[in-house]
Structure 1
């Protein structure tokens, strides 16, 4: 029998520590990775395929257990979209995709990791799928900044905000057609999330826009290349 996932439990906090360790290790090893350019492409493809395999496995599990449905299994959540973009980015290296992964991907994945909408605990496959894919999005964005040398810009923040708002009508239409709640545009998660602090429906959607903009800006300020001060 599967155990219910408990937010901020020992298991939850432990996996967050592991992910933090991976992020720190990526930063520490960035120069060593840059020196092994020939291996980077192979590593990028392997990581992309592992993310894809994990997500395909998740949908196979949904279908085999009768959980797959148009109302909640389509890849229309922000993190699902970010995962797909991350996989394409790793396979192609298309620099036009990097901003979305850095801002929407990292921002959305951080929120998801902090307050997971998850009903299966360790060691269920869904538990590993959730944390592996969300950590994968974050690591992909940071990898292209720290190792590949991409410099985030404020223009990238604005571009990402425009893209998200451009796809919202599509998400709203799908929610209406299939009685879904993709991107939580119809209601908040029942097990609690950061949305609980953003007001009632539908005002929390407007609040979420402001929070997203602030979060993306913080990510940009944190990852942008700092100008070196000239010592006179």
Structure 2
């Protein structure tokens, strides 16, 4: 099987592109370009055109996920880790349903959960240590997280105002999912939500190295570090709605 089709669980060691390499920075540059370019287009569009843009991006995200789910079993590389139970995998469905329905709670989820988690995946990709730049799963991982970051950014360009009240409704839901995933991971040998291990190449990896399983205590701290600057600037605007 060519390296292009291999996953990080089947490819030979030593072929990764590495984080913060030229390839990584190209993907980051593309992300910032699309946010700026499409953001201006989205802001200038009427609501009918905005909905078409949202559906188009959500459809690309779903298609990206479906391609992975087809290729991996066909090539005999299916693994429990490919179940759509990561936070970003769940976001694939949240974004798609929001694009079709415009549900307010799902809109908040794309901002509060999808945006920071997908952004962290782009900043600290855990697949680059194993996969080369010209690899289907590497391209999939970058492209789907790029689109997941882009979607809520466009909502902001369109005038979306985050609500801390909605955020506090989401927190117990996500916390409950994380609790469930701990036992799912134990049964399947997976690491959804990073609750059974810090993963690779991210700040949790560093924390787990020095404090072991206590790294989980960093989750609410990291969440606060993300959410305070994400919500504080909109505090007065949310009150006047």
Structures share a fold, TM > 0.5? yes
Distance 1:120 1:61, change over 3 A: farther
After superposition, the C-alpha distances for 1:86-126 in whole angstroms (9 at most, x for unaligned) are 11111221112011110111110111001111132322222
CA RMSD, Structure 1 to Structure 2 (Å): 2.0
Tell me the equivalent position of 1:108: 117
Could you tell me how far 1:17 is from its partner in structure 2? 1.0
Separation (CA, whole Å) in 2 of partners of 1:14 and 1:85: 27
* Structure 1 residue corresponding to 2:96, chosen from 67, 87, 109: 87
Structure 1 segments unaligned to the other structure (5+ residues) = 228-232
Structure 2 segments unaligned to the other structure (5+ residues) = 4-14
* Structure 2 residue corresponding to 1:127, chosen from 123, 135, 138: 138
After superposition, the C-alpha distances for 1:183-231 in whole angstroms (9 at most, x for unaligned) are 2211122x42121343533211111221112212222235x2776xxxx
Tell me the equivalent position of 1:216: 227
**1:28 is the counterpart of 2:37:** no
Aligned residues: 221
Separation (CA, whole Å) in 2 of partners of 1:209 and 1:62: 34
Tell me the equivalent position of 1:175: 185
After superposition, the C-alpha distances for 1:71-96 in whole angstroms (9 at most, x for unaligned) are x1111111111222111111221112
Q: Is the 8 A contact 1:102 1:141 kept in 2?
A: yes
Tell me the equivalent position of 2:198: 188
TM-score by length of 1: 0.86
TM-score by length of 2: 0.83
Separation (CA, whole Å) in 2 of partners of 1:10 and 1:32: 33
* Structure 2 residue corresponding to 1:137, chosen from 140, 145, 148: 148
Separation (CA, whole Å) in 1 of partners of 2:43 and 2:116: 25
